[in-house]
Structure 1
């Protein structure tokens, strides 16, 4: 079906094109940001910026946009999978330990009671029990 570009193959090709276009757009915006604001871009410490500053060990050339796109897509996909697996394990472990679940619920209820709706967005910073359980 790939040769005919129909059905699932067409949908897959279009989806890949959208993801690639998004990654290339991010790369171009970052490149422009680094060109215009070299001082503030230098302060960035993310993976894309690090790869954009680095050079290929074999040829000594800057990495191509295609290589940078592949790195971006790999990290997006890896982050999605690891987050979902981590959450699945968290909830499985939580349901097996009622005492911990109760302490977390009490902590969340206390934060929600003490804060207004506008302040609820950063609950993680106020959670003392979760932070102690490392």
Structure 2
């Protein structure tokens, strides 16, 4: 009976935080389609959100320059925040295995260009080859789809 009780407690604790396959993995965004930032890429770590552990967020861990080096200077966004170390992706929910929906993504390239923070709806699909398809959405339309590659 004691083992059964421990098994129940362990099983229930798994539902308290985001435990999806994508959590704990890092991906490189590849180059942006925006001319202003076509040469830089971002490394994103997916993790349980600090503010709601049942949802998944994506933190910018590094900005990679065209020569492969890491940008050491802070990248300051229009709201005064530093891009490195902040959430670029928030509030993803795993709706089905490998399918994450209802998130939002900061578009840093457009935010810098337009000098104001810009967000889009966001969804992610895991692919069989280990990559993910990341899609920025406006309402139900998701025209901007990119393949992000795993880095770990």
Q: Scaled by the length of structure 1, what TM-score is found?
A: 0.26
Specify which structure has the bigger relative contact order, considering alpha-carbon pairs within 8 angstroms and separated by 6 or more residues.
2
Q: Scaled by the length of structure 2, what TM-score is found?
A: 0.24
Larger C-alpha radius of gyration, 1 or 2?
Answer: 1
Question: Which structure has greater strand proportion?
Answer: 2
